[in-house]
Chains A and B, each alone.
Chain A
Amino acid sequence: MSLVDRSTRLNAASQGAEKTRPAGKGRLAALETSLAGWVLPILLVALWEYLARLGIIASNVLPAPSAIAEAGWAALKSGELVRNMGVSTLRAFAGLFVGGVIGLAFGIANGLSELSHRYTDTTLQMIRNVPHLALIPLVILWFGIEEEAKLFLVALGVFFPIYINTLHGVRTVDPQLIEMGRVYGMSPLTLFRRVVLPGALPSIFVGLRFALGIMWLTLIVAETIAASSGLGYMAMQAREFLLVDVVVLAILIYALLGKLADVLTRWLEGLCLQWHPAFQAKRD
């Protein structure tokens, strides 16, 4: 008894010691680490501006950053930029939602049920071998250039990474934990909610990250080829009028939206996977 008590106290003491870390000196180093990544891009943009002003980079090849910013400001004021960004974002997430839910559902079903896996997995794997962007001509024939076309392509594109990773996650949940759940009399539903799903979550997030990349890529291609609104359409129209600054602007905004989606996922991941040692280490 006393041994146990003593060890708890010892542990508590060592934990206290861990928390009182020397501060102050680390502050500057931390600032340096967080800014280090930005040094090179800022230098490059400055160099770009300089070369463009000197006329070494022709403005009809690559306009100066300041010219692009101006074009951005003009598009923002006219409301065109916000509208097109809204349309593209909505398309992207609608497709992600539809494809993601279907992928999640099949992943869970095939991870849990051998029967379901036997009957559907081969078919799903076969469809995977068709590059979804190759379907664009067919999709245009089916849906024209309406919203359904983009939704279909994005949903198809994000389906696989989510399906495969959910399946993998569900199948690799620690069987010892599942057995533990059984010993403690968990119902199948409780077992799924408290053991299987949280266990599969890290893998599902990996799938989501892959899916986000595919989502933007699919949308860019689809909007560039067949659309009457959205960022890709904006870029294509600008190309016809030789507005290089708007074209570059559209590309930069795609990059920004991609980054934003990634940040959002990381945040969500950090929230859902707080328990994970990898994420605990990161937060410290």
Chain B
Amino acid sequence: MTDLDSFRTEVAAWFEANRPPEPDFLLPESFMEVGTDQQFDYLRAWQRKIYEAGYLGMAWPTQYGGGGKPQAFQDIVNAEMTRQKVPFVPNTIGLNWAGPLILAIGTEAEKQRYIKNILSAEDIWCQGFSEPDNGSDLAATTTRATSDGDHYILNGAKIWTSLGSYAKYMILLARTEPGSTRYAGLSYFLCPMHTPGIETQPIRKLTGEYGFTQTFFRDARIPADCLMGREGEGWKIAMMTLTFERGATGGQAGGIARQALNVHDVLELAQTARRDGRPAIEDPLMRDQLVRFLIEDQGDRLTATRGTIPALCTERPHAIPLSQKLRTSEHRRRLLQFALTLQGANAPRWVGDANTFEGGKWQRAYFNSFSSTIGGGTSQIQANIVAERVLGLPKD
């Protein structure tokens, strides 16, 4: 047995023994829908427990609280969490976007200050990129950061701030150069949320859940050392953040960010759900659709494997990482849409209905699947990126 094999056994046993008790309230599906204190406290405690057992940030440097091991160990943990369907860890923005960014380009002081508390969920992080008037067109950012001695004064508003209600820090894109437009003049901040003048206002989601906020900045003064890099480097750093967020670059601390329903769950559903008085899985058209999803799912998994073999990616080395979000998020959306179709006449039931399948989680999951086809750059923007950067087609 190799080290990794015995590690897998150890991890499997740990999660079996330490899985938290089923709560008496509905857990959210992902870090983006954490909308009540009850949900938050439960998930934060779970993350801390996993970290203390040594199973988060396993490949991050030990001097900042990481495990200093090869990535393969963390991959095993992530796979095992998925397999056992244990609850997810809530601090995704810290673990997988802000954290790797700080480790990649942050100062020694920033690493000392932030990394360990990201892992333990002591400090929750959020992201302030999108604004009420500018989302896809991030370069149009208007939130201002005005230098004032050893402080910056923030004014403006961000929106769709996931975990905004619980975050202690925000990765923030703001305009430092008055009168500038587009990419130049933007700067990047590691902004403390508990600052007078910063206020969050929860926004209700299409499912009825909460989890993101509008975030207002009214003459909020933050210390000048919150600036990451130099003034004017904001765009570059924001783009780097997005490569972590979209999974196009490695270095994430790990853990899982959602309780994902996958194609195998849909297969199980197809055995219980009925159409025309028979199990849906016996309907020839449903079978054809199921097989299409299985082929696509296997195709994406195989593509992840192929991406690790450079000789099979020579022609367009960025094709796999840059298309990953588009491929997997659209697949999930269509898969979950189909999961409703499988339920036939029972499909339009909603969360709370006594006759709904598994508490209505399929309906909720379909609605929440748009979080990935919209959040983090919409599928249309992803298709532009693939067409322009991978295929070399002209910009719009």
Same complex for A and B? Answer no
A residues sitting closer than 8 Å to B (CB atoms) are none
B residues sitting closer than 8 Å to A (CB atoms) are none
